[in-house]
Structure 1
Amino acid sequence: MSQIVTPFPLRRARRTRRTEWMREMVREHRLSTRDLIWPIFIRDGENVTEPVDALPGVSRLSIDQAVLAAEEAAALEIPCLALFPYTDPALKTPEAEEAWNPDNLVNRATRAIKAAVPDIGIMLDVALDPYNSDGHDGIVRDGEVLNDETLLALEKQALAQADAGADILGPSDMMDGRIGVIRQALERNDFGQTAIMSYSAKYASAFYGPFRDAVGASGALKGDKKGYQMDPGNGAEALREVAHDLSEGADMVMVKPGMPYLDICQRVKAEFGVPTFAYQVSGEYAMIRAAAQNGWIDGDAAMMESLTAFKRAGCDGILSYFAPRVARILLDEPLDD
């Protein structure tokens, strides 16, 4: 883009900032309710709304309450929910068999939500950590997370989720080759219309702690995930990961975490031009909420600014726990508090 340099006072940048209507008229990027995916946590029980201490304002929901959340999302014009399970520790095993149980929490929740709100989108996470007694995204043998053996488990998990009615599968495990295995399995089993949003650039981040508490994985985790999640110092590697996943059949790609990696979002969108998403992860959400609760920042202003930053970086959509509150602000609806 060529830059025309006009000297002051012929050019005064503040002219177009003078009034709200003019600022809005020349705004380059806008946030919409249709940009949002709302992650929610599912647990067993009935009529249960269990607050997550590390995520103020976020609760684990029983399936009947998740249905109500889906109805709320539809009313707020939020197009998609991402479901994550809080799995009973008694169901966690080294082989993570519960991951492909057709009647596990997220599969039952998907069917219930689709029956009640058929037009809402459902995204399910393809990874073993909620079901693995070692807390890892893959199967562990002698302290090593096994790539190829894990792929067999992920294939079965993905097919069970597609059969339950998931619209989007989100492989977040970071095993090599998983997109190709899942895509080929979907095609062979008449799930060719099921979309894949790959967690292509998922970093070994310190910002995931509250999420792991929410799904009950933090206590089970042995070691860390640096052997398969990306090093925070790498940028070019993210482009290689995205290219690989697209070549294997991913329809959309994701960068995770979000704000610390806005440069990666921008580079991915500029390089590939494909639907690009970011996950504003639990640690990002918790920091904004905690600072707001202490009166250190304007929480709603920081929330809206943070999500607008994703749009400015080129993201087509954002997974955020703020989704319902953002939607109410965008739609000028009353806030819960």
Structure 2
Amino acid sequence: MIDGLTLDQLRVLVAVADTGSFRAAAKRIRRVQSAVSHAIASLETQLGVRLFDRSGRRPALTPEGRALLADARGIVLRADAMRARARGLGEGVELGLSLVVDTLFPIHAVAHALDAMHRHYPSVAVRLRAAPLGEPLAALREGRCTLAITVGEEFREPEIQLEALSPVPFVAVAAAGHPLASQPGGLTPSALAEHLQIVLEDASARSADKDFGVLSPSTWRVAGQDIKHVMISEGLGWGRLPLWAVEAELASGRLKRLDVPALGQHGRVDLASYLAHRNDRPLGPAARVMRAALRSLAQATRADGAEAASQGQMR
């Protein structure tokens, strides 16, 4: 009789276990209560065990029921995943989505967008990598990713379409114990020249011979944003980092903002960020959901920023 088990019966078992009653389960799965009771009774007959103790006010899982519930959940989850994958293949959904994100861009925003994509298309595999400066667009141009996020205005190519996202605040900082941290505002290039500047090095050929915001003749060049962050936090030198990455350290006092007029007002510049994809490769459904989520988040961020600015003017 076990060969006669149906996926519907297992869904009913999971629903009753999750809701705690036949009535609540019926409401969740939009059935009449008698149909739920019948499905459970049939399942018990086919399995040859009692799944629920009905002697109390509410049905309670028996030890056998608890043991088999885990199997039922696994079967239902795998069946749902198979159905989603089949639906995706039928709709032309990508089997995988590859992204390369500028290290300056807040990764939590990417996670938010990926979560939205995953809820729509759970079968789509994801490959995510962070890279600096010109590398995201290089990866896109060379076909190594489906989408890229780039920060700054230096990298534009006619075959790549850019869509504006949220600005990324970029600030000059040093460790609290660094000599620059105790100097008054308005630091000049001559004052900065006496101190080591930590600079991010670009691995792509597009900007390998260019420097961005380098004011000190003494530099250490590092190959990753995380390395740069650690070097600055440990007091080895000063440099610029995305505000989102250093907010906690600024709040705790471990890092200090540097007022460097040559690098923006009070050492801050808001860099434009863009979602990029190739014009000759239309985006699939999963990539379109990802794009919509990023654009929605960017709109909300801009709205919050405008409201904060308005409140600041009213004070």
Q: Shorter-chain TM-score category? A: under 0.3
Higher helix share: 2
Q: Which has the larger radius of gyration?
A: 2
* TM-score w.r.t. length of structure 2: 0.23
* TM-score w.r.t. length of structure 1: 0.22
Higher relative contact order (Cα pairs below 8 Å, separated by 6+ residues): 2
